[in-house]
Structure 1
Amino acid sequence: MSNSFHTLRLMPLYVGTTYLALTVALFFGGPFNWPIENTTTLLLFLSASIASISVGFCLGSRSSSPGGNLRAWRFCFRLGAIASIALLFPSTLAYTGKWPWEIGLVLGDQGAAYREMQVALQANESGIRLYVSIARAAFGPFVFCVIPFSILNWEHLRRVDFILLFLHVISIVIFSLMRGTDRETIDLLFVVIGTVVIRLARQSLVTGRLHFSVTRIFGFLLFFATISIIALALFIDRKESRMGGDDAFCVGETLVCSTRGKNQSPIVSKSMFGLEMLTAYTAQGYYGLSLALDSDFSWTYGLGHSPFLIDRLGNHIDETLYDRSYMAKINAAGWDDKTQWSTIFPWLASDVGFPGVPFVMAIFAFVWGASWKSSVVSGSDAGALVFLYSCILVLYIPANNQLAQTLEPYFSAVFWLLTWLTSGRPSAISRRKFFYRNGN
């Protein structure tokens, strides 16, 4: 079993670092010519950060990590599914000013849905957004575990569980469509893929091989490709709707722009628009990072890594807290921190300075690697959730500190991290039961 895990031990690291390297390549060699003046400094910092992630993950994946069983997985699953379904109604009202059954009004124009959501957030006519946010945060840990727990315990689901799972997924899709946003569906797809990888890794650890025929592998790849194409098409359609077409694309208002001739074929035009949108989403943050690297450090008392903490606690600790953060300095340099991304690094650097960021990333990567080992070798479902949250953080490294943006993911990630850390070590009996169950 140890030999089997040895071949899988660094797989998430290879995928994660390759993804980060590709985003850096898109920034420097993509369709936009970014006006940066500190290329060498930027590349050295990114190299140090990726290297520290690699070292941290390698050490974490070799560590003796927690791996106790979570016996209450079904309770958490059902509570999360019921909460997700129930919260759909007040959530759509609070965030969009509409009820879920009004979805027909937004299906035809996702750009309009997004703009209407922005208006509704500013007006807050329902007056319940604060309470909805608190409720979503309180049930966030359980809502997040629904998809992973259903996949990891698929054979043990009952009829009522399948019904709750179906309604949970429908609730996520409706909420995403009502808001005209992509994060919900992207996270859903990402969590499904990540959990399937954990399950397959567990099976390979038990048997030394994957129990999938060529037909099943082909079916899975076909399903994944279909879902990805649909998600990409919806993504591009939403952006075109927001921007009024695909004739031109600009980032940071008019900081960098890409235009196309009118005689260009629709297929080429859409493909270029998709590449530009992909570059803007996955690489624009490096420009904000370049601005931050040229700014002076002012300590933010350990709160600067989270906009939620700055907003809620800033006035009670230091009224100039936001002004001390790198985000304020990036904003002052002309890069709007409310509408543009600057990677995760300036958020962390506001608390520890840029020299300390690689060390923070190494600690995070240690948890990432340890939770991967725990979720596969020890069969820890709580470890699997920590691993998935770690993967989400890696996914959003070129954008922001996603897990600390709002109270809901912040509380949920901390909840499962503490649950995992306090779960204890797997006993020999529980380990045998886990491998026996998965071996069957």
Structure 2
Amino acid sequence: MKIFSYRYLPLNIYVGYSGFVLLSLIAGPIKYKDLNYSVLASFLFGLVFLFVLGYFFGARGDYRKFSIYDRSISYQRIIRIFQILLIFGVFSSIVQWVSFFISGGELSLSDIGGNYVKGYDGYERGQAVVDFIYVANIFSQAVVALVLLFSFYYFKVMGGLAKISFLFVLATYLLINVVGTGKQKYLGDFVVFSTFCMLINFASEGRRFRLRTLGVAVAALCVVFLLFIEILRQRYLAAGIGLDNIYEKVHPLISWDESSIVFGLIGSDYALALGIFLGYFSNGLYGLYLSLTLPFEWSYFVGNSYSLGRIVEIFLSSDGFILENTYPYRVGETYGWGFDKWHSMFAWLASDITFVGVLLLSPLFAFVYARLWLQAIKATNPFSGPLFIYLSLGLVFSYANNQIMHGLSGVIVLMTLVGGWLFSRNLPCIKLLECERSRCCEVIE
């Protein structure tokens, strides 16, 4: 068994990333009040260990590289659905540009932080008006996300017009949301989508990792890292927050270790931004630890998503019936670490199935995740690639928050991909080879 091979690449990434998250918690400048590292580490080690076991079982079976023609067969199977999504995605992007400029939006790389602060001026969580525009925006976000996922995976076999349309949607996604409003989430989505799609392509082609490839990857990682730090620096500068007044703004359960190596390496503005950035990986773990100290209260299998829980509460005309049973809400009531702070995805899931249930779910999810990875490489199911990429996004953010299920648009995307994957017949590899030999499916010109 070659552990360092394409078969186990997603597993290696997840284990390595988990180590980085723990390192950020231990060595980062942000410290958390009364955090019991042994309790948190015990749960996380058990979670990762069970994930590894599940992945090993799921990754068994035939594995070999496939040509681009195999993916074109899958593309043909969903091309009509994709074309409809792409049309709506382009239309949605045009509407976003019109709305952006009508509202006085500006695209300025030097004022990203200011745009972010202005966008959240007067914002109150849970106070949005549910009207046609609000609902349309949710479905618009879901459609755009699906367009991006399918386009990244099928880009090599898409036609010229489809590629141009996708690039327009992608440019809109990044320019308006990142530059225009200063939201890093969308940059993070782009990085995860493009990275995992690239890994699928490398595995499909059986490409070897050479020093040049690794050098380009490291350089790209550094550029993305600097972008995140610069956006954070501008955001906190625009909000008037710096190391000199951070204790006036910081949560009472948080303290800053001024002896941290971060503050000795770079200037104060960038040190604060770097500390906040590392805190993104550890904030959710603190919420997870606090959740581990509380007893279980069932949230009726809909407490895993804030938006889904709110929808059920609105439908039942019973505010708090679902969400007040969740671990994140009760942590806020008990310790003061409320909904406005980050809580790991595992705390949200445990609200429905307990923390023991989360541990038992880990190997089952890992098994499916490994199967999806192999299917994405072989292109045996047209939804396997996009679903694998989307679940990878959820794994990357799992320690920080419930990224793919927090918003209703994310729930719609997940349900669409899972439903499509379940109801799409897996095309056997031998059938793919027969189709290639008979030229029954060609790359879209």
- Please say whether Structure 1 and Structure 2 have the same fold, judged by a TM-score greater than 0.5: yes
Quote how far apart the aligned CAs of 1:33 are: 2.8
CA contact (8 A) 1:252 1:340 kept: no
Quote how far apart the aligned CAs of 1:228 are: 4.4
Distance change in 2, residues 1:242/1:398 (3 Å) = farther
Bigger CA drift: 129-138 or 272-281? 129-138
Give the one of 71, 78, 81 matched to 2:76.
71
Separation (CA, whole Å) in 1 of partners of 2:39 and 2:326 = 20
Quote how far apart the aligned CAs of 1:218 are: 5.2
1:5-44 matches, cutoff 5 A:
7-36=5-34, 38-44=36-42
Give 2:204's aligned residue. Answer: 202
Give 2:59's aligned residue. Answer: 61
Once the two structures are superposed, residues 73-130 of structure 1 have per-residue CA deviations (whole angstroms, 9 ceiling, x without a partner) of 444444434333322465578xxx8537843276543333223322475599997x64
Give 2:421's aligned residue. Answer: 420
Separation (CA, whole Å) in 2 of partners of 1:112 and 1:229 = 18
Distance change in 2, residues 1:383/1:45 (3 Å) = same
Once the two structures are superposed, residues 290-333 of structure 1 have per-residue CA deviations (whole angstroms, 9 ceiling, x without a partner) of 21111121111111101012111125455432222112211113
The question of 1:244 aligning with 2:249 is answered no
Give the one of 116, 119, 131 matched to 2:118.
116
Give 1:310's aligned residue. Answer: 309
The question of 1:229 aligning with 2:226 is answered yes
Give 1:268's aligned residue. Answer: 267
Quote how far apart the aligned CAs of 1:184 are: 0.8
Equivalenced residues, count:
424
Q: Secondary structure at the match of 2:255?
A: strand
Distance change in 2, residues 1:285/1:242 (3 Å) = same
Separation (CA, whole Å) in 1 of partners of 2:153 and 2:359 = 33
Distance change in 2, residues 1:249/1:409 (3 Å) = same
Separation (CA, whole Å) in 1 of partners of 2:39 and 2:2 = 40
Separation (CA, whole Å) in 1 of partners of 2:34 and 2:425 = 48
Separation (CA, whole Å) in 2 of partners of 1:130 and 1:203 = 48
Quote how far apart the aligned CAs of 1:391 are: 0.7
Separation (CA, whole Å) in 2 of partners of 1:135 and 1:71 = 29
Separation (CA, whole Å) in 2 of partners of 1:12 and 1:123 = 35
Give 2:290's aligned residue. Answer: 291
Quote how far apart the aligned CAs of 1:397 are: 1.1
Give 1:279's aligned residue. Answer: 278
CA contact (8 A) 2:138 2:409 kept: yes
CA contact (8 A) 2:114 2:235 kept: no
Bigger CA drift: 46-55 or 3-12? 3-12
Give 1:103's aligned residue. Answer: 105
Distance change in 2, residues 1:154/1:115 (3 Å) = closer
Distance change in 2, residues 1:16/1:167 (3 Å) = same
AA at the equivalent of 2:8: L
AA at the equivalent of 2:226: I
Quote how far apart the aligned CAs of 1:336 are: 3.8
CA contact (8 A) 2:92 2:140 kept: no
Distance change in 2, residues 1:228/1:28 (3 Å) = closer
Distance change in 2, residues 1:434/1:403 (3 Å) = farther
Separation (CA, whole Å) in 1 of partners of 2:377 and 2:102 = 38
Gaps of at least 5 residues in structure 1 are: none
Once the two structures are superposed, residues 337-394 of structure 1 have per-residue CA deviations (whole angstroms, 9 ceiling, x without a partner) of 3321121121111111122111122222222111111101345441111111111111
AA at the equivalent of 2:298: W
Distance change in 2, residues 1:123/1:192 (3 Å) = closer
Separation (CA, whole Å) in 1 of partners of 2:323 and 2:126 = 24
Quote how far apart the aligned CAs of 1:143 are: 2.5
Distance change in 2, residues 1:213/1:106 (3 Å) = closer
Bigger CA drift: 351-360 or 4-13? 4-13
Distance change in 2, residues 1:57/1:43 (3 Å) = same
Once the two structures are superposed, residues 31-57 of structure 1 have per-residue CA deviations (whole angstroms, 9 ceiling, x without a partner) of 233222543322211111112222222
Quote how far apart the aligned CAs of 1:187 are: 0.4
Distance change in 2, residues 1:222/1:123 (3 Å) = closer
CA contact (8 A) 1:327 1:337 kept: yes
Give the one of 78, 86, 92 matched to 2:91.
86
1:128-143 matches, cutoff 5 A:
130-138=131-139, 142-143=143-144
CA contact (8 A) 1:304 1:351 kept: yes
CA contact (8 A) 2:284 2:400 kept: yes
AA at the equivalent of 1:187: D
Give 1:396's aligned residue. Answer: 397
CA contact (8 A) 1:32 1:258 kept: yes
Q: Secondary structure at the match of 1:104?
A: coil
Separation (CA, whole Å) in 2 of partners of 1:14 and 1:217 = 16
Q: Secondary structure at the match of 1:376?
A: helix
Quote how far apart the aligned CAs of 1:422 are: 1.8
Bigger CA drift: 225-234 or 97-106? 97-106
Gaps of at least 5 residues in structure 2 are: 64-70
CA contact (8 A) 2:113 2:232 kept: no
Separation (CA, whole Å) in 2 of partners of 1:368 and 1:255 = 36
* Identical aligned residues as a percent: 18
Separation (CA, whole Å) in 1 of partners of 2:17 and 2:279 = 15
CA contact (8 A) 1:289 1:346 kept: yes
Give 2:325's aligned residue. Answer: 324
Separation (CA, whole Å) in 2 of partners of 1:28 and 1:134 = 41
Distance change in 2, residues 1:100/1:259 (3 Å) = farther
Separation (CA, whole Å) in 1 of partners of 2:290 and 2:128 = 39
Separation (CA, whole Å) in 2 of partners of 1:14 and 1:414 = 27
CA contact (8 A) 1:375 1:387 kept: yes
Distance change in 2, residues 1:56/1:85 (3 Å) = same
1:139-154 matches, cutoff 5 A:
142-154=143-155
Bigger CA drift: 149-158 or 160-169? 149-158
AA at the equivalent of 2:350: A
